[in-house]
A and B are shown apart, each in its own frame.
Chain A
Amino acid sequence: MRAEEIEMNKIAQIFQSLDYGPAPEGPDQANAWLDSHGRKFGHFIDGKWTKPGKTFASDNPATSQKLADITDGTAADVDKAVKAARSAFKSWSALSGYERGKYLYAIARAIQKHSRLFAVLETMDNGKPIRESRDIDIPLVARHFYHHAGWAQHLSREFPDAVPYGVCGQIIPWNFPLLMLAWKIAPALAAGNTVVLKPAEFTSLTALLFAEICERAGLPKGVVNIVTGEGDTGAAIVNHPDIDKIAFTGSTEVGKIIRQATAGSGKGLSLELGGKSPYIVFEDADIDSAIEGLVDAIWFNQGQVCCAGSRLLVQESIETRFIAKLKKRMSTLRVGDPLDKSVDIGALVAPVQVERIRDLMQRGTKEGAVIYEPDGELPGGTCFLKPVLVTNVSPANTLVAEEIFGPVLVAMSFRTPEEAVALANNTKYGLAATIWSENINLALDIAPRIKAGVVWINGTNNFDAAVGFGGYKESGFGREGGREGMSAYLKPAWEKNLKPASKSSPHGEAGAPAILEPRGRGTNPLDTAHLDQTAKMYIGGKQARPDSGYSRPVLDPSSKLVGEVGVGNRKDIRNAVEAARAASGWSTSAAHTRAQILYFLAENLDYRRDEFAARLKAQTGQDGAEEVALSVERLFAFAGWADKYDGAIHNPPQRMVAAAMVEPLGVMGIVAPQSRPLLGSIALLAPALAMGNTVVLVPSANSPLSVTDLYQVLETSDVPSGVVNIVTGDGVTLAKTLAEHDGVDALWFAGTAEASAMVERASAGNVKQTWTTRGLAYDLADRRFEGDYFLAKATQVKNVWIPYGA
């Protein structure tokens, strides 16, 4: 070795080492802005800044230095903000779409003009690398407002007969502070709502700067109100009686609390919650690119990303090589000062998060996980973590099951595409998934089979305002971005005119106590003229005796006995849900096939119309011919929809398409209304089936025979076993079991306000999507219900991002 001792200056040393050295972005402008507010902030309510109240400190997580004092919003503050939003709503929603669009456009422009200030402030407040805030967060914010300026203008054409909710309460997380604000505020304002938004307590600053931008853009006062604070402030928003819709992004735990809190309130709700998203690498992938993708998946924003690709599933045949390459790649990730332009991983948001992640890793290690971290020193400070790779784990390990929300990747292997899908879906979450394969056949086979709202093929963490984002399962419901996102801030105009249902009305309620005292043997010709008929449960294509061994009488309006049905219980529901889950092939059957079967069902029902009409008359005392005819027509309508209510292709700015696929929810519980014993069930069943859901149907408790008569029609119409399962009995009791069942993905319930509230509350367990009548008179005979109203509620949109390029 030829070496020599010489004096070297710094440049000569770097010439040898070729280190990167520091490349800090200056904080001066952001500091000057903070100083201009005396580093102490009140709320932004009704176009004015309130005096700071009781405050808490907002720190820079990279330096632990206090940036500013933030006011901890009280219930009175929230109330003031809601009042301001309410009084602004009338004129704001009355503006033409073009006028609202111009404001959104002005906001987009203003964000671009001050983009660096926003980026630096965001990085100081949150700890994310300046590269990300500068190149990803803030440009996406501007894009979101541009995109929604257009929606505002085209609203009435694209969403006829829709109206805004009113005042929206919006609660956002700390991982993408300004971006989540944009995702909430832009569509809300475009649709004509006014908002009260609470930023996360760790990261309020860019929301406050945004308020200033709104002020300068001349946004009418009260349209956007920013109330800062902690959990209690959020609770005050959630529970405020004059808020019409809650939009929340955050943890699944808090999401469930909000679901419970808003149950029965009639508030609109969209939840974007946690995730544990699979990142699947097949053996025919571009492996180096898949590894680079992981950097964008799990080491983006320190892994504090709800859709982070945090569960690596790699095909066994390439596992060893992949893991070795991955470890090597991890060693070149740079952890450090987030304001440094050459840093990949900045600071986590707060020491409490670091502690949480360390605890989780300890638990995982105790359970056998092997932790790998690359060599190298961490910068000083309490909020830095190295990138972590966890191996030697199975789905049973805490680190695989739990959302870590940090730079921790867990790795497992799979052998076949089927096993990859099974592992990918082996989670309570369903936000996103990534698939790497150079075989388009394989990739497009896997994408629809993964239960997640976003699927990225050969790429990851792509976002765009035109493409909906949101989860399946316990990752929440509702979409943000694109058409799907707009519809989350709109509701049908007719909904506000719904009247309360009364027991005597034709739209009576489940939960009304059935009169169980018969006045002697009925004289229904069906019963007297024929052999005794035993209406059992219908489960998995077979008639099954009720588990309880009890029957209940079915009476006519004069309380004469017209028949008996089984009293369904928990176990019948359990069996029915099992059967419905086992019939999931229905969801992937061709839409044309589903249409054929529904048409056939209509045909066979029509063939027996007289019999069904007579049965209706026997139970209700009213002529049933019209109801049967309407039921046939409704089946016909949704048979027609089966192959037409489909998706869209979005065009994000990158060279790729995003296929918005309309997918069924899965297993749906349907508790039909008391009234219109046949149509009430058919009107809800038909859209659910048309879209590929399998169903557990609880028919009208008082008049269930019209539905138990359907068994033979279902069978003769080639409806596959398990696609429709019917359990008779008390609607409320059975609804509770359905609501609490984790294997039920959605629940529609027609019944009283109290029972609806119960259903919504009990559905929080697995964050089911619900539709309830809340004691209101939905006239299902109305032809407004033969269209997209129920189709939209029976489906969820999955956006599959497909890049291309030879």
Chain B
Amino acid sequence: MSLRVVDNSHSEATHKRNPGFPLDLDWVERIRMNRSALERRAGTIGTRRTVKKDYQLAWLLKAITLIDLTTLNSDDTDGRVERLCAKAHHPLRQDILDRLDVGSLRILPGAVCVYHNFVKTAVTALDGTGIPVAAVSTAFPHGLAPVETKLREIELSVADGAKEIDIVIERGMVLRGDWQALYDQVQAFRKACGDAHIKTILGTGELATQTNIAKASLVCMLAGADFIKTSTGKEKVNANLVTSLTMIRMIRWFAEETGIEIGYKPAGGIATAGDAIKYMALMKEELGTNWLQPHLFRFGASSLLTDIERQLEHGLTGHYAADYRQPMV
């Protein structure tokens, strides 16, 4: 069968970046989020949608391209980051790729995500792969440093070659309802990023309510965020489907009002192929298939890749696979 295939970089090329908008506090106050109803929807997405056989394999391959392969540990070293980058370059065992017969597809993770100190290492290691380097920034994970320090950190990461900057917001601003301060700071971060895309980490596990999460999402988008992201992975509560639903519904509303498509990145705790499918189904149902592209959706994860590899191998062989047989992340 001969098919006209649209290269998956096309949408990204025509994607319009978020130019930022004035802070609209009336809009912020109009937000209503009903936790029980959100939980009901989020709780049934995995029972309403499932993919099997070839569909599951294809979805999992897509999931790989949506991963920000991440290492954010205090004991990271250049060696550890280089190993991560090598895995990013070859996310799947060649024999699995061969058997799937998908040589025409570019199966590489969305980005490699590291601390500032390893941006250069990663950029060098990924040279020629086209995989962007993302840097967590602005005093990750807490964000409680002088704003001058935080802006400088962004500039340095960009200078080192980071194409994406994952900033953290000050959770206290949300809890105090100081939307102007949040807006001003994110806007300043956005400016410091320049051409690098900015992902705003909300630290949702520390924002107390879905309404707070929704309001913080909107303020970040108005301030110019390209992506909104759930968690640093360091909070007690990481990404989950309920919080995700809250955030992607704000993305949808923002797109309805402004025409601007904002990306979504759940991070922390997403470790299984089954989880990945649920998140993808939620995105597809609430935002549409268009949003299942690397410039609009990322998983912040690392062990997820290994589980996807195992599931792909199982899908091909019918045998359950063991993680030690997949090259480690």
Contact = CB atoms under 8 A, between A and B. Distances in A.
Contact of B47 (A20, A22, A131, A289): A131
Contacts of B105: 12, 15
Interface string B36-47: 111111001001
Interface in A279-296: 284-290, 292-293, 296
Given A18-B289, A286-B37, A458-B34, A8 B5 contact: yes
B28 interface: no
Interface string B199-227: 00000000011000000000000000000
Contact of A438 (B32, B44, B58): B32
Contacts of B8: 16
Contacts of B57: 11, 14
A10 B58 CA distance: 9
A1 interface: yes
Interface in A429-450: 438
Contact of A806 (B6, B62, B102, B208): B208
Contact of A13 (B3, B7, B285): B3
A520 interface: no
A9 B36 contact: no
A541 B223 CA distance: 67
A388 to B, nearest CB: 20
Given A21-B53, A292-B41, A458 B36 contact: yes
Contacts of A292: 37, 40-41
B284 interface: yes
B10 A2 contact: yes
B219 to A, nearest CB: 19
B94 interface: no
Contact of A18 (B5, B36, B59, B208): B59
A7 B104 CA distance: 9
A656 B35 CA distance: 12
B37 A19 contact: no
B48 to A, nearest CB: 6
Contacts of A21: 51-55
Interface string B92-124: 000000001110110000000000000000000
A95 interface: no
B319 interface: no
Given A11-B58, A15-B61, A284-B32, A293 B209 contact: no
A23 interface: yes
Contact of B52 (A2, A23, A805): A23
A655 interface: yes
A4 B2 CA distance: 10
Interface string B285-329: 100010010000000000000000000000000000000000000
A293 B4 contact: no
Contact of B209 (A8, A284, A806): A806
Nearest to A295: B41
Contacts of A16: 5-6, 8
Contacts of B40: 292, 296, 459
Interface in A1-44: 1-23
A803 B36 contact: yes
A9 B102 contact: yes
Given A6-B5, A7-B2, A20 B51 contact: yes
Contacts of A64: none
B61 A11 contact: yes
Contact of A344 (B32, B48, B53, B208): B48
B16 interface: no
A804 interface: yes
Using C-beta atoms within 8 Å of the partner chain, give the interface range for chain A.
35 or more
A533 interface: no
Given A21-B55, A289-B38, A292-B37, A1 B48 contact: no
Contacts of A22: 52
A131 B47 CA distance: 7
Interface string B110-143: 0000000000000000000000000000000000
A342 interface: yes
Contacts of A6: 2-3, 5, 104
B62 A18 contact: yes
A332 interface: yes
B50 interface: yes
A458 B32 contact: no
Given A12-B58, A284-B32, A135 B6 contact: no
Contacts of A285: 32, 34
Contacts of B208: 806
Contacts of B51: 20-21, 23, 342
- Most chain A CB within a 10 A radius of its CB, from B1, B6, B37, B105: B37
A15 B8 CA distance: 10
B90 interface: no
Contacts, number: 139
Given A1-B10, A5-B4, A8-B1, A14 B59 contact: yes
B249 interface: yes
Contacts of A23: 50-52, 55
A341 interface: yes
Nearest to A462: B40
A131 B285 CA distance: 17
B206 to A, nearest CB: 15
Contacts of B34: 285-286, 289, 438, 458, 803
A655 B36 contact: yes
A332 B1 CA distance: 28
Nearest to A10: B54
A15 B6 contact: no
Given A16-B5, A288-B249, A459-B40, A805 B35 contact: yes
B1 A7 contact: yes
A1 B6 contact: yes
A290 B34 CA distance: 9
Contacts of B48: 131, 342, 344
Nearest to A21: B55
Contacts of A9: 101-102
Contact of B102 (A1, A15, A288): A15
B102 A12 contact: yes
A284 B33 CA distance: 10
Contacts of A805: 35-36, 39
B5 A14 contact: no
B284 to A, nearest CB: 6
B32 A342 contact: no
B49 interface: yes
Contacts of A288: 249, 252-253
Nearest to B55: A21
Nearest to B252: A288
Contacts of A19: 55
A447 B165 CA distance: 49
Interface in A538-554: none
A5 B2 contact: yes
Given A5-B4, A8-B3, A14 B55 contact: yes
Contact of B37 (A2, A8, A458): A458
Contacts of A293: 37
Contacts of B44: 135
Contacts of A342: 48-51
A2 B5 CA distance: 9
Given A11-B101, A12-B104, A17 B1 contact: no
A656 B38 CA distance: 14
A17 B292 CA distance: 10
8 contacts: A4-B7, A11-B58, A11-B101, A14-B59, A15-B61, A21-B55, A284-B32, A286-B33
The 9 A-B residue pairs whose C-beta atoms are closest, nearest first, are A21-B55, A289-B37, A14-B58, A803-B36, A805-B35, A286-B34, A286-B32, A15-B58, A23-B52
Given A12-B104, A16-B5, 12 more contacts: A3-B6, A4-B7, A9-B102, A10-B54, A10-B58, A12-B5, A13-B58, A14-B54, A15-B62, A15-B105, A20-B50, A288-B252
Interface of A: 1-23, 131, 135, 284-290, 292-293, 296, 332, 341-342, 344, 438, 458-459, 654-656, 803-806
